[in-house]
Amino acid sequence: MAQHAYGIDIGTSNFKLFSVANKKMINEKNVIAIKNKNEIYSFGDPAFEMYEKAPANIDVSFPVKYGVIADIKNMGTLFECFVQKINGQNNGGDFCIAVPTDITEVEKRAFYDLIAESHVKSKHINVVEKPIADAVGVGLDVESPKGKLIIDIGSDTTEISVISLGGIVLSKIIKTGGNKLDDTICNIVRKQYNLIIGSRTAEQIKINLADAMNSSDSTHVAYGRNIVTGLPAMKDISSELVYQAIQECLHSIIDSVKMILERTPPELSADIIEAGAYLTGGSAMIKNLDALIQKETGLKVNICDAPAEAVIRGLSEIVSNDKLHGLMFVPREKQYND
Compute the distance between CA of residue 60 and CA of residue 73 in angstroms, rounded to an integer: 14
Question: Under 8 Å CB-to-CB from 118, ≥6 apart: which residues?
Answer: 76, 79, 80
pLDDT of residue 336: 40
146 HSE (CA, 13 A, CB side): 14
- Report which of 14, 67, 52, 56 is spatially closest to residue 34, judged by C-alpha positions: 56
User: Domain 178-245 sits in which CATH superfamily?
Assistant: ATPase, substrate binding domain, subdomain 4 (3.90.640.10)
What are the average pLDDT values for consecutive 10-residue runs of the chain, which has 338 residues? 79 92 90 92 94 92 90 92 82 86 84 89 89 95 94 94 94 94 97 95 95 91 95 96 96 96 95 95 94 96 93 94 90 52
Same fold, 5-133+310-337 and 135-176+251-308: yes
- Our measurement of the distance from residue 229's CA atom to the centroid of its chain's CA atoms, rounded to an integer in Å, reads 38
Q: Which fold has domain 5-133+310-337?
A: Nucleotidyltransferase; domain 5 (3.30.420)
Q: Report pTM.
A: 0.91
- Per domain, the residue ranges of the chain are 5-133+310-337, 135-176+251-308, 178-245
Compute the distance between CA of residue 182 and CA of residue 203 in angstroms, rounded to an integer: 6
What size, in residues, is the chain?
Answer: 338
pLDDT of residue 43: 95
Q: Do 118 and 76 touch, CB atoms closer than 8 A?
A: yes
- Report which of 65, 53, 59, 63 is spatially closest to residue 38, judged by C-alpha positions: 59
- Our measurement of the distance from residue 212's CA atom to the centroid of its chain's CA atoms, rounded to an integer in Å, reads 20
Regarding beta strands 32-35 and 148-153, do their DSSP bridges make them parallel or antiparallel, or are they unpaired?
unpaired
Q: What does DSSP assign to residue 324?
A: G
pLDDT of residue 332: 65
CATH C-level class of 135-176+251-308: alpha beta
Q: Do 207 and 246 touch, CB atoms closer than 8 A?
A: no
pLDDT of residue 162: 96
- Report which of 191, 189, 192 is spatially closest to residue 181, judged by C-alpha positions: 189
Compute the distance between CA of residue 230 and CA of residue 119 in angstroms, rounded to an integer: 47
Q: Which amino acid belongs to residue 216?
A: S
Q: Do 125 and 32 touch, CB atoms closer than 8 A?
A: no
